Amino acid sequence: MSPVWFITGCSTGFGHELAKQVIARGDRAVVTARDKARLAGLVGGHEAATLALALDVTRTDQIEAAAQAALQRFGRIDILVNNAGYGYMAAVEEGEETEIRRQFDANVFGLFAMTRAILPIMRRQRRGHVISISSVAGFIGFPGSGYYAASKHAVEGWADALAAEGKPIGIRVTCVEPGPFRTDWAGRSMTQTPNRIADYAETAGARMGNAKAGSGKQPGDPARAAAAIIRIAGIENPPRHLVLGAFGVDAVTKTLRERLAEVEAWRELGLSADFPA
């Protein structure tokens, strides 16, 4: 039997492209979006192998209903792709409490709740793969993206724990960390707080301006990214981290090397904090 995918946030971007390729290859798929009508083009002609559902991941009632509908339709879920979420840009000092919490509800708490709803199914199967679309921002906090980076850092730490808990019972965990890709993320799936403090104009303010201006010119190809995700989905030993795109690979590699060098440079001071032997 072909594997069963459950993909959130399929109306646009990575989720849409991934769902399109999964369905085209003949796998079974539960595809979701807040507006179910936007999924018609994906599932049309493939009704026997697909299930389209309305799902807002910030609503636990919809999460539970979607998980049960998927189980009733296909009897199992092999691969969960946590893709729903969005970006929020602001200098840290300029961040607005309502917007910060709204982003965490979608990117963090909604993702956690969605996974908790699917884990009992995978645990009974003794097999499953939880794939969460993170970001290079899961490793690096860029100017203007502090709160977005915080949401992705949260997912990365949570995924480390889930990987350790799930491995003995056959549940694998991957975070996908794209750099800039040519989706409509900057145009549609990102909100910004206006830069009002002049001292941040050359850091956060400049990057926020470049994010909008560069939309549609990013080097990453969403179709190739989706193919890469399909390649690692469901295999016995998938990567814990899948960094996508040259910008992301180079930036993450540089950051991790610098971080390790800093730990080593301050090693003696760090070790001195223990009780004497």
212 is an active site residue: no
Burial label for 238, CB within 10 Å (0-12, 13-18, 19+), is middle
Structure tokens, 25: 């290859």
Give the integer Cα–Cα distance in Å for 116 and 128.
Answer: 13
Catalytic residue among 134, 135, 145, 151: 134
167 is an active site residue: no
Catalytic residue among 88, 132, 152, 200: 152
User: Do residues 173 and 163 touch, judged by C-beta distance below 8 A?
Assistant: yes
11 is an active site residue: no
Catalytic residue among 132, 148, 151, 200: 148
Among all residues, which ones are annotated catalytic?
134, 148, 152
